Homo-oligomer: A and B are copies of this chain.
Amino acid sequence: MACYVQKFGGTSVGNIERIQHVARLISETVSKGHQVVVVLSAMSGETDRLTKMAKDLTPDPHGRELDVLLSSGERVTIALMAMTLQSLGINARSFTGRQVGIVTDGAHTKARVSRVDTERVLAALGEGVVPIVAGFQGINEASDVTTLGRGGSDLTAVVLAAALKADTCFIYTDVDGVYTADPNMVPTARRLEKISYEEMLELASLGAKVLQTRSVELAAKYQVPVEVLSSFQNGPGTRVVKEDADMEQVLVSGVTGDRNQAKVTVVGVPDQPGIAAKIFVAIAEAAINVDMIIQNVSQDSLTDISFTVPRGDLRAAMSLVRELAKEVGARTVEVNEEIAKVSLVGVGMRSHSGVAARMFAALSREGINIMMISTSEIKISCVVEEKYMELAVRSLHQEFGLETAPKTHADAVRNN
C-alpha cells in the first residue's frame, strides 16, 4: 500500500463534469488500496472573479481580507468533491487549510508555511478516510486565514507529501507534463519522461507555468517525488526527481522563451566604485526583481549599466532609476521593451563544456544578435530582440536534438 498525494488544478475541477471525472480518477487510486490525500484548487476563473470584485471595491485591499476572500474558492471545490466521492461510496472528508494543520507566518497573500500539524489528517487516514484538502490556504498563529500566493495549491500538495512522507505527489493539470519547449512555439517539442528538481526549478523560474517555484524548492529539499500529469487524458506525465546518472548523459533538457522582460540602460555613468551598488540596492528595496546585469567597458571614465526587469515592474523601476541617474550624474536612461530571454536548461551542462559556444553559433547562423548573456551551472540565457524569440527557440531545439528522445544509460541497459 502506497501513500499518494493527488493535486488537481483549477481547470481540472472547473465544472461539474470535470469534478465528476476527477472523482473517478481518485476512486480508481483508492480502489487499488492506496492511501490518498487529495489537494484541490478553486474552480478555474474563481480567483480572478473574486479578485475583480475586490479591486472594484478598493484599489488596495487589505491582505488579511483578501485572504478571507480568496480562500473561499477552495472551500467550494473540497466540499463538492467530498460529496461526489461519498456518492461513489468513498469515505471522503473535506479539510480546510486550518483543519489539515497548515500553519503559516503572518504574511498575508504570500504566507510561508511554518509547520504542518498532521495529527488530524493522520487520524483520518487511520480511519480509512480520504482527506480532500483545500489548497492555497493555511492559518497563522492568530488563527486568521492566510494564502500561499499564486500556485499555492502546488505548495500545499508538496508540503503535505513531505509531512506525510508520501510515495509520490501527483500534480494533475491541463497539460501532460513538462516539454522540451513550449509546443505552441515548437511543434516538435517532446514530453520529458523525467527531469531533475534543479532543472524544474530553472524552468519554473523561467516562466514555464507547470509547477510553482517554491513547491519545487520544497520538493527538492525533502526529496518528494513529484509527477506532473494531465487530468484530461490518460498516460504518464513527467516525473520530477533527484538528479541521476541518466540525466547527466543529456546535455540539454529544455529550451524556453520568455517575453516578460524589459531592458533598462543607464547611459554615461561615472565609472566610480559604489555607483552600481547604489542603483541596485534601491531597486532591491523596492522589491523589483532584477534578472540580468551588464556593465559595458568604460570609455572616458564613463560606463553604461544595463539590466532586465519583468515588464510589470518597469514603470516602478524607471521612476526609481531616473531619479538615481540624476543623483549619480549619469547622462540618460534608455528603455527597450522589445526584448525576450531565450534559455537552455540541463544538468548535463555541469559535466559538459561547449554548450554556450554551440548556442551562440546556432543563434548567429540565424542572424540573431545576442544583447545580454547570463549563465548558471545548469542554464544559459540570452537576451535577443523579441521578434526573434520563436525562431531562436526553434533553432536551439533543433541544434540540441531535443525532438528525439536521448539514448540514456537506462535505455542502453533496457535495450540489451
Contact = CB atoms under 8 A, between A and B. Distances in A.
A93 B80 CA distance: 29
Tell me the dominant secondary structure on chain A's binding face: helix
Contact of A84 (B57, B76, B96): B57
A14 to B, nearest CB: 12
A57 to B, nearest CB: 5
A-side interface size class: 35 or more
A141 interface: no
A116 B30 CA distance: 40
Interface stretch (A60-68, A202-210, A319-327, A343-351): A60-68
Contact of A54 (B58, B62, B83, B93): B83
Contacts of A65: 79-80, 82-83, 86, 94
B60 A87 contact: yes
A62 B75 contact: no
B75 A57 contact: no
A64 B83 CA distance: 9
A62 B86 contact: yes
A56 B16 contact: yes
B54 A66 contact: no
A57 B20 contact: yes
A6 interface: no
Contacts of A16: 53, 56-57
Nearest to A82: B65
B62 A82 contact: yes
Nearest to A58: B87
Contacts of A84: 57-58
A160 interface: no
Contacts of A68: 75, 78-79, 82, 94, 96
A171 interface: no
A99 interface: yes
B75 A54 contact: no
Nearest to A68: B79
A64 B93 contact: yes
A27 B137 CA distance: 31
Given A65-B94, A93-B64, A99-B143, A58 B75 contact: no
Contacts of A355: none
Interface centre among A59, A67, A84 (most CB of B within 10 A): A84
Nearest to A50: B76
Interface in A60-110: 60-62, 64-69, 71-73, 75-76, 78-80, 82-84, 86-87, 93-94, 96, 99
Interface in A119-173: 143-145
Given A72-B75, A83-B62, A143-B99, A19 B94 contact: no
Contact of A87 (B20, B57, B78, B86): B57
A58 B83 contact: yes
B96 A57 contact: no
B60 A69 contact: no
25 contacts: A16-B56, A57-B80, A57-B87, A59-B87, A60-B87, A61-B83, A61-B87, A62-B82, A62-B83, A62-B86, A64-B93, A64-B94, A65-B79, A65-B82, A66-B79, A66-B83, A67-B79, A68-B75, A69-B75, A69-B76, A69-B83, A72-B72, A72-B76, A72-B79, A75-B75
